[in-house]
Amino acid sequence: MRIAVLGTGMVGRAIAHRLSTLGHDVVIGTRDVEQTMARTEPDWLGNVPFAQWQPEHPTVRLVSFADAGAHGDVVVNATHGTVSLAALEAAGAANLAGKVLLDVALSLDLSEGMPPLLAVANTDSLGEQIQRAHPRARVVKSLNTMLADVMVDPARIPGHHNVFVAGDDDDAKATVRSLLSEIGWPDEAIVDLGGIRAARGTEMYARLLFEVSDALGTYDFNLAIVRK
Ligand code: NAP
């Protein structure tokens, strides 16, 4: 499958690499290819510059957001959540029309330090904003409730644990479920929360994720739903 991952951070890299190892034709989108390749400093999370990562992952090509939008049958939004609408606009509304748009972003607002606030919450969500901005795209919110390393390697967390999907288009959710399955998520681990409105819940979980991480001293964990 032709997949475009928008975002050169740790999430975009992890998802792009994993899907590429599974045989998909994957590109990563960025604002400016030359500028991104010219960076020499680690990003704000300490990840190595893209030019250092790229040679170790030669099957993943770096292209502009617009070229990425044109490439993907599935487009993954792994951009900083407060700028995702701008990144998706750059990817091109016409490019996104009809496509599955897997949104993993969070609208984290670090203006008051850690834990972050959410720029969108309670009565709206980033997933819904994206669906409204791109009504012809088929937005599915998923994978946003865990660390990037867990998204692409669920087996690193022992035992049963869960991933959520939310979106208005059942076929798009089926495509995302199928990709999750390829990545290694067992079908019974995938909880379908219904329409894209449920992105409010999975996005607002971010607050608890940061509190738990602070308490445990690690992000290497996940949610497990235990029921009767
Ligand atoms: P990030 O640092 O949050 O975002 C990096 C991407 O945002 C880059 O591709 C960058 O473009 C783009 N960007 C920054 N400013 C922009 C602007 N003004 N206009 C357009 N694009 C802009 O990367 P991340 O840590 O990999 O996280 C990606 C998303 O996943 C975020 O929404 C995050 O909240 C969410 N998330 C992360 C984790 C995790 O484990 N880190 C877990 C769950 C959810 P350039 O390539 O041009 O620099």
pLDDT band at 44 (very low <50, low <70, confident <90, very high): confident
Percentage, residues of the chain above pLDDT 70: 100
Q: What is the pLDDT of residue 225?
A: 98
81 lines ligand 1 (CB under 6 A): yes
Q: Average of pLDDT values for 61-81?
A: 97
- Distance (Å) from CA 172 to ligand 1 centroid: 23
Q: Average of pLDDT values for 54-61?
A: 95
Q: Average of pLDDT values for 6-11?
A: 98
Q: Average of pLDDT values for 65-74?
A: 96
pTM higher than the cut 0.85: yes
CA atoms within 13 A on the CB side of 53: 25
Cβ-contact 54, 62 below 8 angstroms: yes
What is the position in ligand 1's atom list of the atom closest to the CA of 9? 26
Q: Average of pLDDT values for 163-178?
A: 98
Q: For residue 14, which amino acid is it?
A: A
Q: Three-class SS string for 171-208?
A: HHHHHHHHHHHHHCCCHHHEEECCCHHHHHHHHHHHHH
Which residues, 6+ apart, have CB-to-CB distance to 56 below 8 Å?
none
* ∠ Cα 195 201 203 (to 5°): 105
Q: Average of pLDDT values for 147-176?
A: 98
- Distance (Å) from CA 228 to ligand 1 centroid: 38
- Among 30, 45, 47, 80, which is best to mutate for testing ligand 1, by the most ligand atoms less than 8 A from CB? 80
What is the position in ligand 1's atom list of the atom closest to the CA of 44? 2
Phi and psi at 190, nearest 5°, equal: -90, 120
Q: What domains appear along the chain, each with residue ranges and CATH number?
A: 2-216 (3.40.50.720)
Q: Average of pLDDT values for 29-43?
A: 97
pLDDT band at 21 (very low <50, low <70, confident <90, very high): very high
Task: Check pLDDT > 90 for residue 123.
Answer: yes
State the chain's mean pLDDT as an integer. 97
What is the position in ligand 1's atom list of the atom closest to the CA of 14? 26
Q: What is the pLDDT of residue 226?
A: 97
Q: What is the pLDDT of residue 128?
A: 99
pLDDT band at 104 (very low <50, low <70, confident <90, very high): very high
8 lines ligand 1 (CB under 6 A): yes
